[in-house]
Amino acid sequence: MKVTFLGTNGWFDTDCGNTICTLIETKTAYILLDAGNGIYKANRYIKKDLPVYLFLSHFHIDHIEGLHTLAQSRFTSLAIMGQSGTKSTIKEFLAPKYSMPVDKLPFPCKVIDIKEGWNKNPFKFRALPLVHASKCLGYRFEIDGKIISYCTDTGYCKTAEELSANADLLISECAFLSGQNSDVWPHMNPQLAAKLAFQSQAKKLALTHFDAALYTTIAKREKAQTQTRRIFPASFSAYDGLTIVV
């Protein structure tokens, strides 16, 4: 299984990266996590004739703005999946007034409102609400004998621990700098991401979704990596174009 970080910024694009998008290549499908501007690079890595599933955490612009670029993609098929209301939100966001609707894309595309909890179709995954300014889902994928947890745009919560329990890879946001926190706009900092990985007994931690206004240089991401490793050594800061094998 390969995991490629196509976009690692939160909020907006900078010289450090595009907004959030991660690609998982499995034996039977490609899984995209969120649709920030990094999604336009998916064509570089999606080479096999396999279905593509896009899981949206929530509807903040930095997580869906890349949907506008789907018309240039060469997918075999695409299923856009997310919380209740995803169908209506995508219909509005990709209306002809603003962009190309899903039924006009050059490949079959459907939008699915998924149920919270465990799902078995198209593969085994769990979706649970996290803690954020608007409703946001975290995900746990159990596929190809591996567990991948995806927790972005959230403060620290027990739900994130549930999703990440014994994960082979925990992909966690790290929007805040060391020591920063907010009850109004919850996000994680390096110490909280490390705590999540430690408490959930994950095998490896990837930091992503770095707030573009705070992490203005790669050096700041590297500092976050150092801070995280003091608590959870098997940590790394992701960057656009990084591919790892899980």
pLDDT value at residue 53: 98
C-alpha closest to that of 10 among 213, 179, 186: 213
Residues lower than pLDDT 50 in the chain: none
Strands 137-143 and 124-129: antiparallel
CATH of domain 2-245: 3.60.15.10
- Distance in angstroms (rounded) separating the CA atoms of residues 90 and 179: 36
Rounded to 5 degrees, what angle do the CA atoms 39, 239, 68 make?
Answer: 15
Q: Which long-range contacts (CB under 8 A, 24 or more apart) does 72-76 make?
A: 72/40, 72/43, 73/42, 73/43, 73/105, 73/106, 73/107, 74/43, 74/46, 74/106, 74/107, 75/46, 75/107, 76/49, 76/50, 76/51, 76/52, 76/107
Per-residue model confidence (pLDDT) at position 140:
98
Q: What is the pLDDT of residue 198?
A: 98
Nearest to 175 by CA among 209, 150, 152, 205: 209
List, as one string, the DSSP characters of 44-61: GT--SS--EEEE-S---H
Tracing tokens 């329990």 back to the chain, one arrives at 165
- Write down the domain spans for the chain: 2-245
Size of the chain in residues: 246
Residue 229 is predicted with a pLDDT of 98
DSSP-assigned letter for residue 14: B
The whole-number pLDDT of residue 117 equals 98
Instruction: Give the closest residue to 69 by CA, choosing from 40, 108, 107.
Output: 40
Pairing of strands 78-82, 52-55: parallel
What do you get for the CA distance between the two ends of the chain, in Å?
5
CA distance 65 to 37: 6
Res 44: pLDDT? 96
The Cα 58–Cα 171 span in angstroms is: 16
In tens, the pLDDT along 114-129 reads 999 999 999 999 999 9
